[in-house]
Amino acid sequence: MRFDVVSIFPEYLAPLELSLIGKARTDGLLELIVHDLRSYTQDRHRTVDDTPYGGGAGMVMKPEPWAQALGDIAAASPATAAGRKPVLIVPSPAGEVFTQALAYELAEEEHLAFACGRYEGIDERVLEWAQEQYAVRPVSLGDYVLNGGEVAVLAMVEAIGRLIPGVVGNPDSLIEESHSDGLLEYPVYTKPSSWRDRDVPDVLLSGNHGKIAKFRREHQLRRTAARRPDLLDKLDVSNFSKTERNV
């Protein structure tokens, strides 16, 4: 799978050289290219922003460098070559919310490009124009405002990249984690079995796999009800057993 990231702070993306994503890159499971937006400018000052039409605080990113960068990336895209559109993700607090379901959907794509806006954002015409070559998706990490798209890209590339087969060593870890079934994950424990007067729940030491599964499921439900009741509202309770409905 291929990822391209355009930013005025390419160094911000350096953590994607580390850990599982870094290893997936060296193993050839994913290709990730970071582009400096300023290298697509034409003027001596390498200008990427200007004042907003209509007035107001802050600066807006100019369309020309973005068109140059995104045009080059689309032209080199394996999706374009196959007659399809790569996906252009534009991190923005005004986008659809990034979820595990969206991460799974995007992990099926062959090519994702990310346009990291800074200041007050990118001139809106860039997003309209880019639709000729890309499936454009403004995506938000959540209802809060970051200084730019880079931190959001770090989070999204990690969440999407780890779903690519082979990136996470044990694929079972993807099945039992938070959000994979719409619930938060159950609490986990390791040795020692007793620590600072706190014991690991007996059932986990019992070796009875049926009881362990029941304990974990019950705790998933309790934890989700306590911390994220909104998630329970989205689930079809007809799939729940009678005991589960009463948790």
- Whole-number Cα distances in Å, 113 to 72, 76, 101, 109, 218: 11, 11, 19, 11, 40
- Could you please report the per-residue DSSP string of 46-73? ---EEPPTT--SS-EE-HHHHHHHHHHH
Total residues contacting ligand ADE (rule CB under 6 A)? 11
Least distance (Å) from ligand ADE to the CB of residue 97? 9
Restricted to residues 84-103, the positions that interact with ligand ADE (CB under 6 A) are 91-93
Residues making up the annotated binding site for S-adenosyl-L-methionine are 117, 141-146
Restricted to residues 136-165, the positions that interact with ligand ADE (CB under 6 A) are 140-142, 144-146, 149, 152
- Could you please report the per-residue DSSP string of 16-37? GGSHHHHHHHHTTS-EEEEEEG
107/16 Cα distance (integer angstroms): 16
**Do 86 and 109 meet the contact criterion of CB atoms below 8 Å apart?**
yes
**Do 33 and 174 meet the contact criterion of CB atoms below 8 Å apart?**
no
Residues making up the annotated binding site are 117, 141-146
Residue placing its CB nearer to ligand ADE in the complex, 137 or 217 = 137
Residue placing its CB nearer to ligand ADE in the complex, 79 or 87 = 87
Least distance (Å) from ligand ADE to the CB of residue 85? 22
Least distance (Å) from ligand ADE to the CB of residue 109? 19
Total count of residues recorded for the chain: 247
Residue nearest to ligand ADE according to CB distances in the complex: 91
Residue placing its CB nearer to ligand ADE in the complex, 114 or 215 = 114
Listed in sequence order, the residues at least 6 apart from 146 whose beta carbon sits closer than 8 Å to its beta carbon are 91, 93, 152
Residue placing its CB nearer to ligand ADE in the complex, 141 or 163 = 141
Least distance (Å) from ligand ADE to the CB of residue 57? 15
Binding site for ligand ADE (CB under 6 A): 91-93, 140-142, 144-146, 149, 152
